[in-house]
Amino acid sequence: MPKNEEVSLASLGIQMPYSMQAEQSVLGAALVDETVLNRLITDMEPEMFYSDQNRAIYETMRSLYTESEAVDIVTLVNALASNKTFASADDAKVYLARIAETLPSVSNVDSYFKIVKEKYQGRRLIDAARSILNETASGEDADLLLESAEQKIYDIRSGRDKSGVKTIRESILEVIDTMQKLSGADRDKFAGIPTGFNYLDTVLTGLGRSDLIILAARPGMGKTSFALNIATNVARQQKVPTIIFSLEMTCEQLTDRILSSTANIDSQAFRTGRLNNSDWNDFAQATSLLYNAPIYMDDSSGISVPEIKAKIRTINQDPKKEKIGLVIIDYLQLMQSAKRTESRVQEISDITRNLKIMAKELNVPVIALSQLSRAAEKTTGRSDHRPQLSDLRDSGSIEQDADIVLFLYRAAYYNAQNGEENQANENEAECIVAKNRHGETSVVRLGWDGAHTRFSNLDVTHEF
């Protein structure tokens, strides 16, 4: 096939699948029973109709519904005549009357909807296959082609359309649906995921789904420990499946840290195996608590965002497993970009941009740990060494792409430089909310237990 020649369906002898009867039956059921339309609004998109006329009728129904107008033959005929879907009001009336009269049974509307949806999925698969063939013929990089092909199929499987364009009316419907879910009995499934750190949750209102959260600190501040504490809290307390991608530590080392913290065993004693009888009892209890916790770990080195997405998809597509609800990456600067870049700054920019896209596509919070530059260590004009946004290492895109930026800071770490008269509390730390796209910035004080690599809540109010 010539390089610039696009694949046509006619040349392959393929026709787009659709069922006119099923589409008309769905519309007829919605027209004669308003409870049907209530259900369709949240489950059916206009794009699922192959017929332009049927699609326009459904869009008009949705518009009337959004404006709290009655949806019946009279109001619908009037609206369709106004937006020129039919040549005249009489034509609209005849068509609507025909689909209402020929409706087999309102009670079978779920079966009609299933047919419409299956035909729509078939058309999307054909479009995806055609696009994959065209992209492959263009001679692009094989890894990018594989990622693109995998993404197209994944979007279809997860029920997402890549068009992205919608009206304010459609968005209002989605907001109403979300507000109803947030105020309903199952609100925990849709609200932000609690981290287990009370005051931090107050500031952030939990970990927002689709948010990219950067957790940054200088070495030795405990960012891996904090991330593992959050992972353990989320998996154990909220039962949210969590996956940790560690580019620096092995899965066994991560498990050691999690068990040591949970069992309240000194981390050094844990690593050396010098446990007393009480420690062994605590260890047994911790393993029992964590054994069935939905925590996944991956210690692949130099992993890229497409590889992370592929591994998450594998879990999400397993019917025996719950979908991943939280992603943690330790850490950003050890990741690799999926495409060639001219500089490390561009590479980090590409990685953070794609992490944000991944968080949005999977609708899960992504916590990416990050190094800070040495600027935070300098004493000139910054005697307390508190980190700030300009300290984010390698690229300003980290700050730009992140929804939330958290800094960990322990003043006691710098005790030797502070002098005897200014000794900080060894058992306290700060989580600095330096950027918060959804609310205010703040400083949250935390307890720190270095022997057990564990952060905890302090019985104090956070400072605004």
Say whether the peptide bond before residue 112 is cis (omega within 30 degrees of 0): no
Active site residue 69: no
- CA 272, 273, 275, 279 dihedral sign is positive
What is the rounded distance in angstroms from the CA atom of residue 366 to the CA atom of residue 305?
12
Q: Which two tokens stand for residue 387?
A: 């980190």
Long-range contact pairs involving 171-178 (C-beta distance under 8 Å, separation at least 24): 172/66, 173/41, 173/42, 173/62, 173/65, 173/66, 177/42
β partners of residue 392 = 372
Q: Which two tokens stand for residue 45?
A: 């998109």
Active-site position among 47, 69, 135, 248? 248
Distances from the Cα of 26 to the Cα of 105, 144, 151, 403, angstroms: 10, 40, 30, 41
What is the rounded distance in angstroms from the CA atom of residue 214 to the CA atom of residue 211?
10
Q: What is the DSSP letter of 107?
A: G
Q: What is the DSSP letter of 439?
A: S
User: Among 110, 112, 124, 92, which residue's Cα sits nearest to residue 24?
Assistant: 112
What is the rounded distance in angstroms from the CA atom of residue 35 to the CA atom of residue 29?
9
CA 39 to chain centre: 25
Phi, psi of 392 (to 5 degrees): -60, 130
CA trace torsion 395, 400, 403, 409 (10° rounding): 40
What is the rounded distance in angstroms from the CA atom of residue 196 to the CA atom of residue 240?
12
What residues act catalytically?
248
